[in-house]
Chain A
Amino acid sequence: DAGVIQSPRHEVTEMGQEVTLRCKPISGHNSLFWYRQTMMRGLELLIYFNNNVPIDDSGMPEDRFSAKMPNASFSTLKIQPSEPRDSAVYFCASTRQGTYNEQFFGPGTRLTVL
């Protein structure tokens, strides 16, 4: 099993630029989660999908953030325009739908906005 795949692993961009983060969940997993991690705020849930449908996006900080899941094997998190305070590690995680299942995290994308 390849695990959750995220790309890019590192992204450095300038303020105002569009950033797109990508995630491929584990095959057969039908729930997908996007998290943001910073020293100050810890691990924050941004949005999650069940069967490609967004269920809860209350953690998305602003309209600058958007996420899509066009099919069961791919999701994107987009920030447009990016700001320095968006600098963080962004994790994607997936799980097989059902109560109490463990989440499998990808390696994360470290985003730096200058």
Chain B
Amino acid sequence: GQQVMQIPQYQHVQEGEDFTTYCNSSTTLSNIQWYKQRPGGHPVFLIQLVKSGEVKKQKRLTFQFGEAKKNSSLHITATQTTDVGTYFCADPMNRDDKIIFGKGTRLHILP
């Protein structure tokens, strides 16, 4: 079935370093969503990208949607301990509100 693949699965970075997670699809996506789940918490919606080549920023977070709409990335500049958690990309499948989540990238921050 349709899937979105995320890499890496885990990432450890020193506090202050940058972090990037990537999301890839074998098929063209209508749009893509990103969620963050803090340890012990629940997934929380961050953003949705719709247009080919779209770039959106939220403070230190930069989200990109590929030109072919088959990949996306989330980049965090100068990570902080509050960035710890798992970041999921998700494919809204354009029907019935069903969303397919990637496996997520778990970010650990080393102090």
Measured CB to CB, the residues of A under 8 A from B are 31, 33, 42-43, 45, 48, 50, 55-56, 91, 93, 95, 97-108
Measured CB to CB, the residues of B under 8 A from A are 30-31, 33, 41-45, 48, 50, 88, 92, 94-101, 103-104
| Chain B residues with CB below 8 A from A107, complex form | 41-42
Binding site secondary structure of chain A = strand
B96 contact from A42, A43, A56, A103, Cβ within 8 A? A56
Contact A50 B96 (CB under 8 A): yes
Residue of A nearest to B106 (CB): A39
> How many angstroms between the C-alpha atoms of A99 and B95 in the bound complex?
7
> How many angstroms between the C-alpha atoms of A108 and B92 in the bound complex?
21
Contact A102 B48 (CB under 8 A): yes
| Chain A residues with CB below 8 A from B48, complex form | 100, 102
Contact B43 A43 (CB under 8 A): yes
Q: 9 shortest A-B CB distances, which residue pairs? A: A102-B45, A105-B42, A31-B97, A42-B103, A43-B101, A100-B92, A105-B43, A55-B96, A95-B97
> How many angstroms between the C-alpha atoms of A31 and B92 in the bound complex?
13
> How many angstroms between the C-alpha atoms of A45 and B3 in the bound complex?
13
Residue of A nearest to B30 (CB): A100
